[in-house]
């Protein structure tokens, strides 16, 4: 048997290539949209991709199943569980719990595992030449390392009221069935640490049924449904705004993108035209570089592992936008955007072009330190805004700070003062840099960024107490 994990750090998303080397055939589970990765793996190992499996209708990324099928002719095997709201609207092989998918000497048994979503399934893999016992379970967003899939996404992100309690009850029942599996079975989940599909995902890529029985918090509460439900729904991270669109696009017949597009480097005239047309400008430099010279109205969303998630908070799927990025980063940025379906990239300019085109009109700012924050708070007449998530704020925060999550700032501008100084902060500067650019682009000119954030504030306070 051939096996390879493909891990996208930008969305903490795992997909898998499983092959029967005797037959020269391979399956891909939960493929990302830039599918050339899988084609290269198959070619390098002399295999043909013949099967594509999905664990559920994904919310956090745009599935590449249809792109991969179009390029390879592989058959798609997708869940037919759940009611009419959870049916794929394009041709595919429908699968239900108890079905067995055969591929060469390998079999995938379909297990219906609702809870995260009603149609969610897991795949139990048996490598027939080696053993008649199953060896791997691909759980999607059902069971993670140390956590389980959140059932509130449909309600919080897609607006389907009343679904989170139903999902929690289904998750409780599904976990009881998981508990019956052999402890030796390897568990390969759909996400790792950093995903918004859970709140306590582990950093290692794989676990076992037995290990989760002794480690996973959810499996310790299976004798108390009320306590399980309360803990499952408590303190989940804010679901990114784009999740609702992913649910839609992964279900319907949509335009395919079978290769990574080449993005145009804009001339000065083309860039000026884009500005006049009101296209959003996304400056992907670090907060430090951005602060040295930025164009007012641009959003500072740094090219790191959170780039696509923040883009999904601030852009819709109709508008075009321009990137400010170094040439050697453009392909990486394009792939990250493809994975959540943000395809409307008008073009890009480099930071050097930005200086050449708009040097005289660039603004700067300097982040403030803890002592400055203390002094300003002591003086009074200042608004302090904590842009971290609600759960982080509830755990601890600077006294007097107003919690406005960075992803929802555009909807909460009326709560921010334009008359008196405003200090913003997050945990360690990444999100507050985004918030600074969002507020500046919306006409707030009395903003200061405490880049050290809660990490700086709490660490130094602790040192003073312990010293």
Classify domain 268-361 at the CATH superfamily level: Rhodanese-like domain (3.40.250.10)
Asked whether residue 460 carries a pLDDT value surpassing 60, the answer given is: no
| C-alpha 161 chain-centroid distance | 22
CA distance 397 to 458: 9
Query: Mean pLDDT lowest for which of 68-72, 161-165, 362-366, 397-401?
Result: 161-165
- Mean pLDDT to the nearest integer, 442-450: 96
* pLDDT of 238 higher than 70: yes
Per-residue pLDDT band for 159 (boundaries 50, 70, 90) equals low
Provide the mean pLDDT of the chain: 94
CATH 3.40.250.10 residue ranges of the chain are 268-361, 370-466
Q: Are strands 422-425 and 447-449 parallel, antiparallel or unpaired?
A: parallel
Q: What is the pLDDT of residues 25-56, one digit of tens each?
A: 999 999 999 999 999 999 999 999 999 999 99
Secondary structure, 3-state, the chain: CEEEEEEECCCCEEEEEEEECCCCEEEEECCCCCCHHHHHHHHHCCCEEEEEECCCCCCCCCCCHHHHHHHHCCEEEEECCCCHHHCCCCCCEEECCCCEEEECCEEEEEEECCCCCCCCEEEEEEECCCCCCCCEEEEECCECCCCECCCCHHHHCCCCCCHHHHHHHHHHHHHHHHCCCCCCCEEEECECCCCCCCCCCCCCCCEEHHHHHHHCHHHHCCCCHHHHHHHHHCCCCCCCCCHHHHHHHCCCCCCCCCCCCCCCECCHHHHHHHHHCCCEEEECCCHHHHHCCECCCCEECCCCCCHHHHHHHHCCCCCCEEEECCHHHHHHHHHHHHCCCCCCEEEEECHHHHHHHHHHHCECCCCECHHHHHHHHHHCCCEEEECCCHHHHHHCCCCCCEECCHHHHHHCHHHCCCCCCEEEECCCCHHHHHHHHHHHHCCCCCEEEECCHHHHHHHHHHHHHHC
Is the per-residue pLDDT at 304 higher than 70? Answer: yes
| Both structure tokens of 288 | 């430090």
Write down the pLDDT at residue 115. Answer: 96
**Rounded Cα gap, residues 345 and 294, in angstroms:** 20
**For residue 462, pLDDT beyond 50:** no
pLDDT band at residue 198 using 50, 70 and 90 as cut-offs: low
Average of per-residue pLDDT across 80-92? 94
Measured CA to CA, the distance from residue 60 to residue 8 in angstroms comes to: 12
Q: For residue 189, is pLDDT > 60?
A: yes
Confidence of residue 206 (pLDDT cuts 50, 70, 90): very high
pLDDT band at 160 (very low <50, low <70, confident <90, very high): low
Q: What is the pLDDT of residues 164-185, one digit of tens each?
A: 889 999 999 999 999 999 999 9
User: What is the end-to-end Cα distance of the chain in Å, rounded?
Assistant: 58
Most confident segment among 123-132, 157-166, 317-326? 317-326
Percentage of residues in the chain with pLDDT exceeding 90? 89
- Helix 268-276 vs helix 351-358: angle between axes, to the nearest 10 degrees? 80
Q: What confidence category does residue 464 fall into, taking pLDDT thresholds of 50, 70 and 90? A: very low
Per-residue pLDDT at 203: 78
The reported pLDDT for the residue numbered 467 is 38
Instruction: At 157, list the tokens.
Output: 């992100």
Fold of 370-466: Oxidized Rhodanese; domain 1 (3.40.250)
pLDDT category of residue 154 using cuts at 50, 70 and 90:
low
- Is residue 153 over pLDDT 80? no
CA 124 to CA 417: how far, in whole Å? 55
Confidence of residue 235 (pLDDT cuts 50, 70, 90): confident
Section 100-109 average pLDDT: 98
Q: What is the pLDDT of residue 130?
A: 85
Which tokens is 423 given?
């200090």
Average confidence (pLDDT) over 295-320: 97
What local confidence, expressed as pLDDT, does residue 459 receive?
A: 87
Topology at the third CATH level for domain 2-249: Metallo-beta-lactamase; Chain A (3.60.15)
Amino acid 236: pLDDT: 85
As a whole number of angstroms, the distance between CA 185 and CA 416 comes to: 52
Q: What is the pLDDT of residue 465?
A: 38
- Which whole number is the average pLDDT over 130-141? 96
94, pLDDT greater than 90: yes
Q: Could you report the per-residue pLDDT of 316-366, keeping only the tens digit for each?
A: 999 999 999 999 999 999 999 999 999 999 999 999 999 999 988 999 999
Nearest to 245 by CA among 96, 426, 63, 394: 63
Region(s) of the chain under CATH 3.60.15.10? 2-249
Q: Is residue 445 classed exposed, middle or buried when 0-12, 13-18 and 19+ CB atoms within 10 A define those classes? A: exposed
Q: How far apart are CA 324 and CA 381, in angstroms?
A: 36
Q: What is the dihedral of CA 322, 336, 61, 256, to 10 degrees?
A: 70
pLDDT band at 196 (very low <50, low <70, confident <90, very high): low
Residue of 402, 297, 279 whose CA lies nearest to 345: 279
Task: Please give the model's pTM, rounded to 2 decimal places.
Answer: 0.94
Check whether 233 has a pLDDT greater than 60.
Answer: yes
* Structural contact between residues 90 and 226, judged by C-beta atoms closer than 8 angstroms: no
Give percent above pLDDT 70 in the chain.
95
């Amino acid at each position: 048997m051939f096996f390879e994990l493909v891990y996208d750090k930008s969305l903490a998303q795992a997909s898998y290539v499983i092959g029967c080397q005797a037959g020269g055939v391979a399956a891909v589970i939960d493929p990302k949209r830039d599918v050339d990765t899988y084609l290269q793996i198959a070619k390098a190992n002399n295999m043909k991709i013949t099967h594509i499996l999905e664990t559920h209708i994904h919310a956090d990324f745009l599935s590449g199943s249809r792109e991969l099928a179009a390029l390879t002719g592989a058959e798609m095997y997708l869940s037919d569980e759940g009611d009419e709201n959870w049916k794929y609207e394009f041709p595919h092989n429908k699968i239900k719990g108890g079905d067995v998918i055969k591929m060469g000497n390998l079999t995938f048994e379909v297990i219906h595992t609702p809870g995260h979503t009603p149609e969610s399934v897991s795949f139990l893999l048996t490598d027939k030449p080696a053993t008649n016992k199953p060896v791997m379970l691909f759980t999607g967003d059902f069971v993670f390392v140390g956590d389980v899939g959140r059932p509130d996404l449909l309600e919080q992100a897609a607006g389907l009221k009343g679904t989170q309690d139903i999902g929690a009850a289904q998750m409780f029942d599904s976990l009881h069935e998981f508990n019956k599996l052999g402890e030796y079975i390897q568990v390969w989940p759909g996400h790792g640490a950093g995903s918004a599909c859970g709140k306590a995902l582990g950093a290692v890529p794989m676990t076992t049924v037995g290990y989760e029985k002794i480690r996973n918090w959810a499996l310790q509460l299976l004798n108390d449904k009320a306590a399980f439900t309360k803990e499952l729904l408590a303190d989940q991270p804010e679901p990114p705004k784009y999740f609702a669109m992913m649910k839609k696009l992964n279900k319907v017949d949509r335009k395919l993108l079978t290769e990574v597009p080449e993005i145009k480097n804009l001339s000065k005239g083309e860039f000026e035209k884009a500005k006049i047309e009101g296209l959003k400008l996304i400056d992907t430099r670090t907060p430090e570089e951005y602060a040295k010279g930025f164009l007012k109205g641009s959003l500072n969303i740094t090219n790191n592992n959170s780039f696509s998630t923040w883009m999904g908070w601030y852009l819709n799927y109709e508008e075009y936008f321009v990137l400010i990025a170094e040439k050697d980063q453009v392909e990486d940025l394009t792939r990250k955007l493809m994975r959540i379906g943000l395809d409307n990239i008008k073009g890009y300019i480099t930071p050097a072009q930005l200086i050449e085109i708009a040097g005289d009109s660039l603004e700067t700012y300097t982040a403030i330190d803890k002592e400055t924050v203390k002094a300003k708070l002591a003086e009074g007449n200042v608004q302090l805004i904590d842009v971290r998530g609600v759960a982080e704020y509830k755990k601890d925060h600077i006294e007097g700070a107003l919690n406005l999550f960075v992803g929802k700032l555009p909807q909460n501008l009326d709560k921010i003062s334009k008359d008196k100084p405003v200090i913003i902060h997050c945990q360690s500067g990444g999100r507050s840099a985004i918030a600074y650019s969002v507020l500046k682009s919306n006409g707030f000119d009395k903003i200061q960024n405490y880049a050290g954030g809660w990490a700086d504030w709490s660490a130094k306070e602790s040192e003073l107490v312990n010293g």
